[in-house]
Chains A and B, each alone.
Chain A
Amino acid sequence: MAERNKYSIIIPTYNERLNIALVVFLVFKHLRDVDFEIIVVDDGSPDGTQEVVKQLQQVYGEDRILLRARPKKLGLGTAYSHGLKHASGNFVVIMDADLSHHPKYLPSFIKKQLETGASIVTGTRYVKGGGVHGWNLMRKLTSRGANVLAQTLLWPGVSDLTGSFRLYRKSVLEDIISSCVSKGYVFQMEMIVRASRKGYHIEEVPITFVDRVYGSSKLGGSEIVEYLKGLAYLLVTT
């Protein structure tokens, strides 16, 4: 008899007062017969995200939605670690709050893991059944170029390295996160590459990625330089 699985969904937020409500609704809509909790790690959003989370707790229950806030922006990696400390499930899902990761794919992550016994299930935008919307040619070009470069240099074993819609076995996430030091999306790459090097069973499911509707993207700045630095770092240290 398989033990009951519980899924802890960690969602880091910063100024996502509308998106977090929409995401929570959609998670509850698509995960009917699943034991799960949502852990919102908010980095002191000035727009009132935490107030909205408290309202959501009144609707769905404080045992289903946990608010584990931090005083200020402390970065994505530490947000996951922080959320992980409060996770009571044996599986952990990480996803973005801006609706680019649609909760309707959560059942397919869970199903894939149950079917294959994988330690990690990662969403990929680059295979048939997956896809993106709202990307102009330049963004597609950089994404594809970055992907080819990373595949050539790192042989990672997954098709989407920078994606951050993933399901981890909790023990596996704890193991990997302790050995990752990068920041931002290079952190996502580092996690999956280290997992691949350590020999963890990784499966992929196609996901669609619709560019965010509300709010402002946290992406900006000299990403190409950061990306190349990140690749070089991963090339040498993994």
Chain B
Amino acid sequence: MKHIVKIMTLLVGISALWFGLLMTSMVPSSHTLLLPIYFITCLGCYGLLMVGVGLMRFPTCPQEALLLQQDIIEAKDYLKQRGVDVCSE
């Protein structure tokens, strides 16, 4: 099924759960009414955490730039000998 349908189903399920909690009043309704806000806040925090962690652990490869420069020199030499125009603009 389409992805959006999956997400909608999940949201409907969660909403039904929340509604059920409201109706049965097992938990005081003042708390229950605030649950969606808690949920969205948690989701937002989780997202920010993921971005932050990912940013810290972002893989970098400075040595690759050097290797690339070597490759470029090798390529230019080879091609120049064989009549390919390799002057940069």
- A210, B61: Cβ atoms under 8 Å? yes
- A210, B58: Cβ atoms under 8 Å? no
CB under 8 Å from chain B, chain A span 16-50: 17-18, 21-22, 25-26, 47-48
Option from A25, A51, A215, A237 in Cβ contact (under 8 Å) with B85: A51
Judge whether B83 is part of the interface by a CB distance below 8 angstroms.
Answer: yes
Judge whether A116 is part of the interface by a CB distance below 8 angstroms.
Answer: no
Give every chain A residue within 8 A of B74 (Cβ-Cβ): 25
Give every chain B residue within 8 A of A144 (Cβ-Cβ): 51, 54-55, 58
User: Given A26-B75, A55-B84, A133-B60, do A17 and B89 touch, yes or no (CB 8 Å)?
Assistant: yes
- A134, B65: Cβ atoms under 8 Å? yes
B78, B83, B84: most-surrounded residue (chain A CB, <10 A): B84
Closest to A152 in B: B47
A128–B57 CA distance with the chains assembled, in angstroms = 10
Q: How far is the CB of B23 from chain A (nearest CB, A)?
A: 30
- A18, B88: Cβ atoms under 8 Å? yes
- A148, B50: Cβ atoms under 8 Å? yes
- B61, A133: Cβ atoms under 8 Å? yes
User: Given A17-B89, A238-B3, do A141 and B55 touch, yes or no (CB 8 Å)?
Assistant: yes
- A59, B82: Cβ atoms under 8 Å? yes
A52–B85 CA distance with the chains assembled, in angstroms = 6
CB under 8 Å from chain A, chain B span 42-87: 47, 50-51, 54-55, 58-62, 64-65, 68-69, 71-72, 74-76, 78-79, 82-87
A197–B6 CA distance with the chains assembled, in angstroms = 12
Judge whether B4 is part of the interface by a CB distance below 8 angstroms.
Answer: yes
Judge whether B2 is part of the interface by a CB distance below 8 angstroms.
Answer: yes
CB under 8 Å from chain A, chain B span 15-58: 47, 50-51, 54-55, 58
Option from B3, B59, B68 in Cβ contact (under 8 Å) with A127: B59
A130–B71 CA distance with the chains assembled, in angstroms = 19
Option from B2, B59, B75 in Cβ contact (under 8 Å) with A132: B59
User: Given A17-B85, A208-B64, do A140 and B58 touch, yes or no (CB 8 Å)?
Assistant: yes
User: Given A131-B59, A214-B88, do A58 and B72 touch, yes or no (CB 8 Å)?
Assistant: no
Option from A58, A145, A154, A213 in Cβ contact (under 8 Å) with B51: A145
User: Given A59-B83, A131-B64, do A22 and B55 touch, yes or no (CB 8 Å)?
Assistant: no
Give every chain B residue within 8 A of A52 (Cβ-Cβ): 84-85
Judge whether A147 is part of the interface by a CB distance below 8 angstroms.
Answer: yes
Judge whether A200 is part of the interface by a CB distance below 8 angstroms.
Answer: no
A147–B52 CA distance with the chains assembled, in angstroms = 12
Give every chain A residue within 8 A of B64 (Cβ-Cβ): 102, 131, 133, 208, 210
Option from B4, B75, B83 in Cβ contact (under 8 Å) with A25: B75
A55, A128, A197, A238: most-surrounded residue (chain B CB, <10 A): A55
- A18, B65: Cβ atoms under 8 Å? no
A25–B75 CA distance with the chains assembled, in angstroms = 6
A208–B62 CA distance with the chains assembled, in angstroms = 10
The 6 tightest CB contacts between A and B, nearest first, are A131-B59, A131-B61, A25-B75, A144-B54, A55-B84, A208-B61
